[in-house]
Amino acid sequence: MPRRTPLSALCCFLLPWAFTILHQALGNSAPHPGPHYLLPPIHEVIHSRRGATATLPCVLGTSPPSYKVRWSKVEPGELRETLILITNGLHARGYGPLGGRASMRRGHRLDATLVIKNVRLEDEGRYRCELINGIEDESVALTLRLEGVVFPYQPSRGRYQFNYFEAKQACEEQDGRLATYGQLYQAWTEGLDWCNAGWLLEGSVRYPVLNARAPCGGQGRPGIRSYGPRDRSRDRYDAFCFTSALAGQVFFVPGRLTLSEAHAACRRRGAVVAKVGHLYAAWKFSGLDRCDGGWLADGSVRFPITTPRPRCGGLPDPGVRSFGFPRPQQAAYGTYCYTEK
């Protein structure tokens, strides 16, 4: 006959388990074993524009006896962080590409907030403020997000000519940088619909589809179609570039000009022929709207439309229209110039 477990022994076994379950259900009110010095940020995403000053808050609730604060940037698509600045509350030392553009705000003795002046396109991303006190390190993460515009780009040779590194260089040459997935997704929600696949900063290849159709991956649901990670040296696609607000302005010079005459026309006005990124930024942020095709620095001819109308490209949505890459000797277009203010 099997032995029965005494009721008292059973209670001794079950009661601690029952109290543990009840404690978890009501919420663990036990104090954290170590102090929490950093206050959680009110906003984890900080919005800014190129050329502006961005403030990334990091504040201590109380000051440890001895500590350092380390600011770093988490590089997208790479398993590394770039050191920006280290401070002990009294003195700070800057590192890396931000150089003298990064500094501490020092609003009060518990303020470890990072200030970035003259924000650049490459400054967008995820930042980490880490408190190092030798006992229990803690950190808070913030995202710096730039207002901008994503544009697809391909060279005069046609589509699918870039490996990853060539796409990255092409965007930089057009006053932009390779877009991130988040930037492409935002552009898709704002109306970007494009059939050609392009490189993104993380090394993936994708394209945004609003109106699903047979030539654009079939009749499935709208969304961001993905080719996944590709070989950065071997595989070839277009590029999705990102740019933000301009420090200068774009203006149009009418005429029937060749490409070399367009360069001369802009120089006479103290300007240069605009890049593709310049034109997209002027369209996005300054509302530039013209029906006239104009030369750009890469040899393409484009024009920006803010208010669609039948005789301005015929498409129902705003955007930058393209005539492709005419022969440079063709005297048929004006030009868009760019000048710093």
Domains and CATH numbers, the chain: 38-146 (2.60.40.10), 148-243 (3.10.100.10), 246-340 (3.10.100.10)
pLDDT along the chain (341 residues), means of 10: 45 38 38 65 94 95 87 78 87 82 91 95 94 84 96 96 98 97 95 95 94 80 90 97 96 98 98 98 96 97 95 88 96 97 73
Q: How far apart are CA 286 and CA 246, in angstroms?
A: 9
- CB neighbours of 44 closer than 8 A, spacing ≥ 6? 141, 142, 143
pLDDT at 27: 40
Pairing of strands 68-74, 148-153: unpaired
Torsion of CA 257, 259, 261, 265, to 10 degrees: 90
- A 10 A CB-CB count for 234 gives 8
pLDDT of residue 77: 60
- The whole-model pTM stands at 0.82
Read off the tokens for 315: 């498409």
Closest CA to 283 of 262, 261, 308, 263: 308
Rounded to whole angstroms, how far apart are CA atoms 114 and 175? 26
User: What DSSP line would sit under 140-208, residue for residue?
Assistant: EEEEEEE-EEEEEE--TT-SS-B-HHHHHHHHHHTT-EEPPHHHHHHHHHTT----S-EE-TTSEEEEE
Provide the 3-class DSSP secondary structure of residue 222.
Answer: coil
Q: Which two tokens stand for residue 48?
A: 């800014």
pLDDT at residue 4, as a whole number: 47
The residues near 283 (Cβ < 8 Å, ≥ 6 apart) are: 149, 289, 304, 305, 306, 318, 319, 320
How much is the pLDDT for 228? Answer: 81
DSSP state at residue 309: -
Contacts by residues 101-110 (CB-CB < 8 Å, ≥ 24 positions apart): 102/71, 105/55, 109/63, 110/59, 110/60, 110/61, 110/62, 110/63
pLDDT (0 to 100) of residue 100: 85
Reading the block at residue 234, the tokens are: 């071997």
User: What is the reported pLDDT for 78?
Assistant: 58
